[in-house]
Amino acid sequence: MSAPLSSRLTVGSGSLAREIAILARAGDAPGLFWLGGFRSDMMGSKAMALDALGQERGLAVTRFDYSGHGISGGDFNDGTISRWLEEAQAVLATTTGPQIIIGSSMGGWIALLLARALLKAGTSAQGLVLVAPAPDMTHELMGPGFTLEEHQALQANGYVEQPSAYSEQPYRINQALLEDGEQHLLFGSVIETGCPVTILQGGQDEDVPAAHAIRLVTHILHDPVTLTLIPDGDHRLSRPQDLERLRDAVLRLVEAK
């Protein structure tokens, strides 16, 4: 089977325009639509495992980098949930047929927001697979952990920098990201997806605690949801056995068509 087709999509206009890099593998439905995490890209191990699954099974697979991530245009420091959600919606609109939306960490939040938008438009995803999902992360997981010094830096500079376990460069968390996140909070009301939901969560995840995934389950009241807790799993869930669980979760939704 041929390699994925590389393309670019302009999202936004004028000073807000940014070029989004896409890799799309042609194939049958349901397509697999990948949403990466905060500061990750479409060449990560989970994204590549999904592309390999699509190649093996003849399924369409769509991956992309948010603005400021990977090889897409735009400045990471301009990034907000609204901005990255807009890009996800624009890329999703380029796909055909039903889609299984797979989101990791922040991508899990965006996947839930995408599912809600699809329902409002009168359609739905075929299913969601959420890996260490981080809905409401700006409100629940970022801000509450700031030290007094970080709160002071946020007020003085408009951003906080924190060390990253995944990069030599620190994470920069901007005030605009935190403020914009308040517009997209999901906890506190029923979360409607219109499709089956599978959650894969590591028990040793220090970035998105298992309790966060359990809380998410309590908000999904009208759709079937399965939570798999992996006791020794970390946030990445990228070990061979973790990727096999991801593959199995996706295939169950594929075969349910």
pLDDT at residue number 58: 97
CB 72 within 8 A of CB 134: no
Q: Which residues of the chain have pLDDT under 70?
A: 1, 257
CA distance 214 to 201: 9
pLDDT at residue number 168: 77
The contacts of residue 187 (CB under 8 Å, 6+ apart) are: 135, 136, 140, 215, 216, 219
Q: DSSP assignment, residue 90?
A: H
Give which of 32, 23, 29, 16 is closest to 2, Cα–Cα.
23
pLDDT at residue number 72: 98
pLDDT at residue number 257: 64
* CATH class assigned to 5-138+188-255: alpha beta
pLDDT at residue number 2: 79
pLDDT at residue number 170: 83
pLDDT at residue number 109: 98
CA distance 6 to 23: 5
pLDDT at residue number 143: 87
